[in-house]
Amino acid sequence: MQTHNQIIEAEPFYQRLLTEFCGELDSPYRSITLNNLAILHKNRNEFEIAEKEYEEALNDYRTLAASNPQTYLPDVAMTLNNLAILHKNRNEFEIAEKEYEEALNDYRTLAASNPQTYLPDVAMTLNNLAILHSDRNEFEIAEKEYEEALKIRRTFAASNPQTYLPYVANTLNNLAILHSDRNEFEIAEKEYEEALKIRRTLVTSNL
C-alpha cells in the first residue's frame, strides 16, 4: 500500500515524465504512467482526474492492442477493470457494468489460448460483476457469475491450494451473503460453513 507521503512524492515524478519527456516515451510507457497517475488520483479521491487518465491510457492501449492483441489486450482489460471500479464507487453502475463486461470478454478471449494465465482474471472479473449485480438486487445474474467464478477458482485450488483457496472462500462468502439476502438460509449456511472450514485450514497451515 502506498502511504500518503509516497503518493505526494510520486505525483510530480509521473507528471514530469508526461510533460517533459512525453515525446521520448513510447506509447506503452506513456500508458503505464497515465495508469499510475490515475491510481494516485483515485487514492486521493480525485475521481474526475483519475477518470480522464484511465480513459487516456485505455485509448492508447486499444491502439496498441489493435496490432498486437496478445501483448496489449491484457492492459486494455486491466484498465477497463480499474475504470469500472472507479465508476462503481461513484454509483455509476451502468457505466461500470459495461466496462466490466468488456474486460470479461477480453479476458475470455485471452483465456481461450492461455487458460492458466487468464482464467483467474476471468474469475476476478466475474466476481466484480456479481458484486455489482448483487448491489443492484439482480440476484439471479449475480448468482450465476459467482458460481462460474467459484468453479474456476476451485479448479485452480485443486493444484495450487495455498494461492487459490482464499479466493474460493471469498466467493463462497459472497454467495452466502447473496443467498441470505434472498432468505435462502440453508444454502447460505452451507456456503458459510465451507468458507469457514477453508479459512481455518489456511490459518492452521500458516502457523
Note the pLDDT tens digit of each residue in 88-146: 999 999 999 999 999 999 999 999 999 999 999 999 999 999 999 999 999 999 999 99
Q: Indicate if 114-207 has the same CATH topology as 1-98.
A: yes
pLDDT tens across 183-199, in order? Answer: 999 999 999 999 999 99
pLDDT band of 12, cuts 50, 70, 90: low
Domain borders along the chain are 1-98, 114-207
Q: What is the DSSP track for the chain?
A: ---HHHHHHHHHHHHHHHHHSTTTS-HHHHHHHHHHHHHHHHHTT-HHHHHHHHHHHHHHHHHHHHH-HHHHHHHHHHHHHHHHHHHHHTT-HHHHHHHHHHHHHHHHHHHHH-HHHHHHHHHHHHHHHHHHHHHTT-HHHHHHHHHHHHHHHHHHHHH-HHHHHHHHHHHHHHHHHHHHHTT-HHHHHHHHHHHHHHHHHHHHHT-
**pTM for the whole thing?**
0.85
Q: Looking at residue 61, what is its pLDDT?
A: 93
Q: Looking at residue 36, what is its pLDDT?
A: 87
Which is higher by pLDDT, 45 or 195?
195
Q: Looking at residue 2, what is its pLDDT?
A: 47
Q: What CATH number was assigned to the domain covering residues 114-207?
A: 1.25.40.10
pLDDT tens across 55-77, in order? Answer: 999 999 999 999 999 999 999 99
Percentage of residues of the chain with pLDDT beyond 90: 76
CATH superfamily of domain region 1-98: Tetratricopeptide repeat domain (1.25.40.10)
Residue 4 clears pLDDT 60, i.e. is over it: no
Q: Looking at residue 143, what is its pLDDT?
A: 98
pLDDT band of 33, cuts 50, 70, 90: confident
Percentage of residues of the chain with pLDDT beyond 70: 86
